[in-house]
Amino acid sequence: RNQLFLAFCIAPPPTSNNMVKDLQGKFDALVSKDTDAQLEFFLKSFIFELGDSWKEVCDLSKKFKKYLKDQTEKRDLNHVQASNFLQQNGKTRTGLERKKECKDIDLNSDGRICFVEYLLLHYKAMILKSYYNRTEKKMTEDLSNDGVGVTGCGPKLLEELFTLPMGLDPKLVAAIEEFTAKKRAREKKMAKLEKRAEKGGVLGKAARNEIEQMMSQDLTAMNRIELTLNAAKKKGKKESGAAALEKKKKAEEQAKKAKLQAGRNKMAAMAAMFGGAKKAMLNKTKTKVTPNIDSRTKTLGKLKSKGPRQKLKKVSSRPRDGLAPWVKKDIKAKRGSITGDSKKE
């Protein structure tokens, strides 16, 4: 799930004002459609998270339509009606919790709850888990009790609703659209026949017979569509949902490593370039080279500079007899000096 998930250094934060406004516009367009269109979009967005329970959403749409009719409503419910419908469908809450959660899920703040808003409330825990799994953020809500009493999560639910699964198979999309189209057509025809049957008489009896035929024939056709949808869902799951997200993560990690390595190579090239220039400058400068002195070489006195290299005197390693030659020469010179002075006297 990542059509809205851009590079973190470029994209604005997921709940930024710009994104919320964009999503709010899409949401307003969605709630203006009928219940079946909202059902279709919800299935496309959460088909993998729902798993085998996707048909429960279809059953909820039937119940929601019937409840609308019973409450003499056309498209949506007020908060009290929505709270009651939530309670009737196994989502038990206190009166205060229902009131707060309905207000939180009323994403367009019109005081009404349409079918897709109800689904966001009914499947709140599932959607929030999907959100945190995709964004890899730390969960801040307590979902241990199926999200009961959890509020302040409207923007996250809205973002996840419009973040369609990555790599969603076109065949799966087509199967969902075909399923909802057939469902819509069937229910529309059934509604007309029921009205005709209520009038009684010959036409009413014929309408009831047609309804019975539809109940047997259309269910078989709907079962075939369900099989097609299940097959497409299983095939799409291999390259969608968590698998696609994991694949994208690996690709991003490889890209990050490649970028890091490219930076290192660039720095190494620059270092080599400046190092070569420095070496060239050093070669042009005259420097004194210190000679290597091995164990058999002894220096006599101070080394005198002889150009760029220093000249060393190397003496024999054989042991000397008596005094060193230069000492003998110095003594002889002094003796000669003394002898010359004595002769003068």
DSSP string, 150-194: --S-HHHHHHHHT-PPTT--HHHHHHHHHHHHHHHHHHHHHHHHH
DSSP E strands, 204-336: 305-306, 309-310
Mean pLDDT value of segment 49-56: 85
Dihedral sign (CA 317, 323, 326, 328): negative
Q: Are 39 and 57 in contact, with CB atoms under 8 Å apart?
A: yes
- Residue 201 pLDDT class (50, 70, 90 cuts): confident
pLDDT of residue 181: 85
- How far from 40 is each of 180, 195, 212, 238, CA to CA, in Å? 6, 26, 27, 22
Other residues' Cβ atoms within 10 Å of the Cβ of residue 323: 11
Closest CA to 64 of 132, 10, 119: 119
3-class state of residue 77 by DSSP: strand
Tell me: pLDDT of 192 over 50: yes
Ramachandran category for residue 136: left, alpha or beta (phi over 0 → left; psi -120 to 50 → alpha): left
Tell me: pLDDT of 229 over 90: no
pLDDT, tens only, 318-341: 555 566 777 777 777 777 766 655
More confident residue, 203 or 58: 58
What token pair was written down for 289? 């080279």
Enumerate the β-bridge partners of residue 78: 112
Q: What one-character DSSP code corresponds to residue 290?
A: P
Tell me: pLDDT of 49 over 80: yes
Q: Are 102 and 83 in contact, with CB atoms under 8 Å apart?
A: yes
State how far the Cα of 26 lies from the Cα of 11, in Å rounded to an integer.
Answer: 19
pLDDT of residue 15: 46
What token pair was written down for 38? 């909202």
Q: Percent of the chain having pLDDT more than 90?
A: 26
State how far the Cα of 280 lies from the Cα of 274, in Å rounded to an integer.
Answer: 10
- Residue 10 pLDDT class (50, 70, 90 cuts): very low
- Residue 71 pLDDT class (50, 70, 90 cuts): very high
Q: Are 124 and 157 in contact, with CB atoms under 8 Å apart?
A: yes
Element (H, E) at 324: none
Tell me: pLDDT of 283 over 70: no
What token pair was written down for 314? 């190397």
Other residues' Cβ atoms within 10 Å of the Cβ of residue 74: 8
Element (H, E) at 134: helix 124-135
pLDDT of residue 82: 92
DSSP E strands, 168-316: 305-306, 309-310
State how far the Cα of 46 lies from the Cα of 174, in Å rounded to an integer.
Answer: 15
Residue with tokens 């097609």, as numbered in its chain: 228
Q: Are 102 and 79 in contact, with CB atoms under 8 Å apart?
A: yes
pLDDT, tens only, 106-164: 998 899 999 999 999 999 999 999 999 988 899 999 998 888 999 999 899 999 999 88
One-letter amino acid identity for 276? G
pLDDT, tens only, 169-185: 787 788 888 888 888 88
Q: Are 23 and 82 in contact, with CB atoms under 8 Å apart?
A: no
State how far the Cα of 336 lies from the Cα of 327, in Å rounded to an integer.
Answer: 14
Angle in degrees, 0-180, between the axes of helices 35-50 and 115-122, rounded to the nearest 10: 20
